[in-house]
Amino acid sequence: MFDLIVSIVYALGIIWFGPTKISLLLCAITASLIRLRYDHASTIQLSTVAVCLILLVDSVMIGIDLPADMYSELGPNPPYYVILVPAIAWVIHLPLGLLAAWLSITLLEFGARRLSR
């Protein structure tokens, strides 16, 4: 249970101190670019796939960087941390990425409606 809590705290902390900020921004930009090309229903589906792939790459980057970051004062962490932490990070970051994509699509459509008046 302690390992799971540490993984969750690490996944939340990596939002501020890791590459996840860039990944979330990339999710928003990608969703807006997809919306410029496709209709609303197709955009939602394609953006969901794009967000999943972007955050999967982000989780792999976290997993690669993890052995350098996760040495505690109690000794080395268990070997399954290399899988557990990126998986927890992906589960926590996925709703944030989907929210960023949804907000960018909504703002793009709102701006287009305002300009068309």
The domains of the chain are located at 20-112
- Pairing type for strands 75-76 and 71-72 reads antiparallel
Phi and psi at residue 50, to the nearest 5°: -65, -40
Confidence of residue 101 (pLDDT cuts 50, 70, 90): very high
Query: Among the ranges 11-15, 59-63, 69-73, 104-108, which has the highest mean pLDDT value?
Result: 104-108
In the predicted model, is pLDDT for residue 17 greater than 70? yes
What average pLDDT does the chain have?
84
Give the mean model confidence (pLDDT) for residues 47-65: 87
Buried/exposed code over 96-117 (b: 16+ C-beta within 10 A; e: otherwise): bbbebbbebbeebeeeeeeeee
Compute the distance between CA of residue 27 and CA of residue 34 in angstroms, rounded to an integer. Answer: 11
Compute the distance between CA of residue 68 and CA of residue 90 in angstroms, rounded to an integer. Answer: 19
- Answer positive or negative: Cα dihedral of 2, 71, 23, 46: negative
In the predicted model, is pLDDT for residue 25 greater than 80? yes
